[in-house]
Amino acid sequence: MRVRITFNSLQKSIPLPWHYPAQLQGLLFRWLRANDRKLARLLHDVGFVYQGHSYKLIVFSHLRGTFAKAATDSVFLDPPLRWWISSPLDPIVQSLVGGLFGRPYVRLGQQTLIIERVQVEDLPDFSHPTTFYTLSPVVVSTCQDGPDGPQKIFLSPDQPDFVRVIRDNLQRKASLLGINAPANSLAIQPGRLRSRLFQLHGGSIRGWEGEFLLSGPPELIRVAYEAGLGERNAQGFGMLACRQKAF
């Protein structure tokens, strides 16, 4: 299930710090807690565990305005702003939306935003190869041995492990949902991508934004669409939208 939330503002341009995705994550969990504290605690503290990996099975986009202008320590977005939230588990999205009903305004950092509209989006057709573009950058990493022990290394699309790690991650998410299609049956072709570096919770995260072509079992593509591609989905990374045309 996927919803699109539209915010407006009395300001012509809204300044937000570059780390505002962390503020969006906080807003999301506040709405969840307002409607279902038990579910919010499960997602925040544990998630859903499979083969030693924990997944929240929720993903959200970065904000999209009608115009964006970058500054040294912030980004200025012109309203209205659009924000997408998605999960393959409908009760998560339903609970989240229930937590925002009756709230005409929200606070995002220092900004007050008007909730103008909440819409449920139809599920696209995944029966054919589908081109996606990122609504938030895709993060892919692996662990390598270093002089001081295992180190997390962020991968780039030109490295052979990039697609393999995405597939493995996606298959574990699918298994959690009772979907048993083999990951190697899904073809993932990175398209035009650019690297973005983010500071989050005191650390650096490298992600990739642009296009991906996915073809294979529709049920696996749907998991990527609803739960996110790559990792750190519940921190606002790996959300996709359909372009449905070739590169």
In the listed set 72, 98, 121, which residue is the last one of a domain according to the structure?
121
Residues 155 and 117 placed together within one structural domain of the fold: no
Q: At what angle do helices 37-45 and 20-35 cross, to 10 degrees?
A: 140
Residues 115 and 137 placed together within one structural domain of the fold: no
Which tops the pLDDT comparison, 243 or 70? Answer: 70
Residues 9 and 46 placed together within one structural domain of the fold: yes
Domain extent for 157: 130-242
Q: How many domains does the chain have?
A: 2
The mean pLDDT of the chain is: 93
pLDDT tens by residue, 149-195: 788 899 999 998 999 999 999 999 999 999 988 878 999 999 999 99
CATH assignment of the domain containing 32: 3.30.70.1890
CATH assignment of the domain containing 164: 3.30.70.1900
- Give the pLDDT of residue 244: 57
Residue 247 has pLDDT above 50, yes or no: no
pLDDT tens by residue, 91-115: 999 999 999 888 889 999 889 999 9
Residue 146 has pLDDT above 80, yes or no: no
* Any domain includes 247: no
Percentage of residues of the chain with pLDDT beyond 70:
98
Residues 113 and 136 placed together within one structural domain of the fold: no
pLDDT tens by residue, 188-236: 999 999 999 988 777 889 999 999 999 999 999 999 999 999 999 999 9
* Any domain includes 212: yes
Residues 46 and 149 placed together within one structural domain of the fold: no
Residues 93 and 150 placed together within one structural domain of the fold: no
Residues 134 and 116 placed together within one structural domain of the fold: no
